[in-house]
A and B are shown apart, each in its own frame.
Chain A
Amino acid sequence: MTAYTATVTVRLKHGVLDPEAETTKQALERLGFELEALRSADRFEVDLEADSTAAARERAEDMAERLLANPTIHDYDVEVDER
């Protein structure tokens, strides 16, 4: 077994309105920053032990499918690193 950290990033699908990001963008603009757009995402760092990188990835993807992301509104990606 090897120790891994799986990083799951969950973001809204393209085209799904993100009012919190829009509000944050407006606040940045009030502070005088210039920007075109802002997107927010949730990032989960999962420490786990698995037989291989592939097995760690599979488990983290399962976590994303079943809880961390809502497939109706979210896309997600998973990165796996040894730790």
Chain B
Amino acid sequence: MDITRPIHIDYAQAVPATYYIDPDACLFLKHETCQICVPVCQSKAIDFSQKAEEKIYNVGAVIVSPGFGKISEEVLKQYGYGQHPDVVTSIEFERMTNASGPFQGELKCFNDGRHPKNLAFIQCVGSRDIGCDNGYCSGVCCMYAIKEAIVAKEHDPECEITIFYMDIRTQGKDFDQAKIKAENMGIKFVRAKVADVMNWGKQIKLTYSTMDGTHSFEPFDMVVLAVGLESPKDAKTIADIAGFELNQYDFCRTEEFDPLQTSKEGVFVVGAFQGPKDIPESVTQSSAAASLVSSLMKSKRGEGVILKEYPTEIPVGDDDEVRIGVFVCHCGINISSVVDVASVAKEAGKLGNVVYATESLYSCSQDAQEVLKERIKEHRLNRIVMTACSPRTHEPLFQETLKDAGLNRSLFEMVNIRDHCSWVHAQEPEAATAKSIDLVRMGVAKSRHNKPLLEQTVPVTKTALVLGGGLAGMTTALSIADQGYPVHLIERGATLGGNLANIKTTLRGESPAKLLKTLTAQIKKQKLVSVYLNSELETVSGFVGNFTSVIASGKTKKKKEVTIDHGVIVLATGGKEHRTKKFKLGTVKKVITQLELEAKLAGTGKNRAPDSVVMIQCAGSRGADLGYCSKVCCNQAVKNALKIKEINPESQVIVLYRDIRTYGFAEDQYKEAREKGVIFVPYKFAKKPKVLSGKTDVVEYFDPILQEQVTINPKLIVLSVGIVPEGTETLSKLLKAPVTADEFFLEAHVKLRPVELAVEGVYVCGLAHGPKPIDETIVQAQAAAAKASMPLVKGSAKVAPTVSVIDKETCIGCGICVSMCPYNAIKMLKIDKKRKAETVPASCKGCGICASRCPTFAIDMGGFTQDQVMAQIKAFGNIEEVV
């Protein structure tokens, strides 16, 4: 889309961010001329004499993660790509809306540079299309198209956007919310397959027909093709080299119950090559693969690890001269376009104890860390005031540099003149500069009182607690035990297995009963797993590495309590079928749920697959009782419909749905069901089907092809009711772990930390995190095991030094602090028959409530002492106290 030079970095965030030579564009590599770059490069980094080398490594396991490939131009051509400059792929469109893209984020037509006023997205380009041999659904395109549409709408609220789709497949956790947001912003969703894309002067004309039979022609300024995920170009080569099998679409073939294991032992697959998937799923799979590999290789754990070493800490005592260095960052132009950085640095240089003040372009860059280290040495700095961005994001980076330079990390102070100044006072440069100078003065005042603080390390109890003995809990317990650590597996019910016991078969025809049998046998055999049945968590206290929990077992009368010490907790408490009150479930006998149908079909009853069945999807979900999509119900409906057809091919099965969400390779079974005569009829949320009771119980629905209400009297009415979490409310209070609006546990970061909770040492997997099918549950449970094993492997946890310190001399033992502390982090001791308070540093979160309530000022906070805060307040009033 833009001109790139033969030597370039692909994009600003590329890893590694190193320039490379494009062999197709380099004059030397193509024609053996030029070589201008060689003498020009000051660091002599270009050497054309280098040859490719082959090296042999002995490894214990291989993880294959080549990602996905591009949909071929042949397919794109059918949609006018290449024939009109403003037919672009979604990948190109993503770059166009990006600030580092070809138009600096401005949305422009390639044709004449005008802003597009109406925009169309065409879904399923290269997916769900047997014409190009891609029968599968890529699973991610609906969601990213919605995101791109929202971004385009944010760029230009006047821009009219239409998304042409077959089914909107936003089955991921909270993804439906994005679709609702898009609709509220005025983005139009039209269920239609676009038949033709035609050049129409500057515009592009789309021909499409909707379900009611109307044909429409509509011109657009720009058309975005939502391209699917193709198997990687060199899939066959990789498979041949590694010796594993591919599936019919050239993705890696894996088994449903062992989703990351390729057909070759010791070779694992993660990411889109295992099947199309989004970022959270890919990140989860990577952690899961790490778990599998690390248990395979646990005998070699720790070998070849190089521990980072720091220089001996330079002692900084109370009597030492305070030598402050102030670094004022430009942050590119983020700060310097508003704040006069030079004058902030100049003013800082005039402050007492400041022996060095300077500016830097990007303080956080790698080379700036080297400069910082040199300056510390050169000017014998023993306090650093970094005047830049937020300590919440960047303090750890600079503190690491301080440690590298031999300074205690608590001698670092950060002043935020970007997030809190230049960005929020963009129109008032003078006032922003004045504010920056005040903030630096306050920061310097505080830093004069900064003292080296001891970083405590506490040992970790190398044991895990897993709550929930369903598929997720059993898998995670076994994985942790495979790493070599004891696990306490707590199950509320009388047997292990949870929902797995209710599922009779999977869409791919596997037997969950067999899986359950295998897992149960493995748990019995695994001596490291202790199972507690009929048990629940009563209380939990402590922190990462050192939790203590009380587990209550048995009925109320014979209740037994055990106390367990453990280092980590995995929440795998699962979910259950949502028993909706709608559609006469529970009152009319022939209205049953998919799970009940599944049990019936697995039995031997004579009439188990009657002649006519109506299935109602999203019964109580997606905006009714539940706000969300339960992800598994469409597959379940297709599976049961196929089973009915297998038992009774004459049966008429009608599935009333909103969007069929058979994402990934399940699309094949959806196709099979249609081929076998299962009738799929879409309905709109506003025109839901009804179950009516008169002489008989009938289903009434609106048929979009006939354009009228239809009444049918089936033998069975089957509801796809969705999944609700179990017991997350109580647990979230016990653990102080947040849940979503739908009461599923909320992960620490949806994309980057998908199985960790915000509370350190607590992890989540399975239905407690959100509805998901068996294979995704297994992967997530393995991922949670990998994350939970990390503190256990390390064996120790670091405690932040910003904790309370109690001066025993001044303490009068009143105990106010003990009663005020929200974390039970202060205990009372008897010293020489006098009551004294003492902090438990590992439990202390540094809130400081104790310090501000202590009647004798005996308590102070590390990093936020009385002296430090008072100095800041005085500096606010422009009083300078040089020490």
Do A and B actually bind?
no
**Chain A interface (Cβ within 8 Å of chain B)?**
none
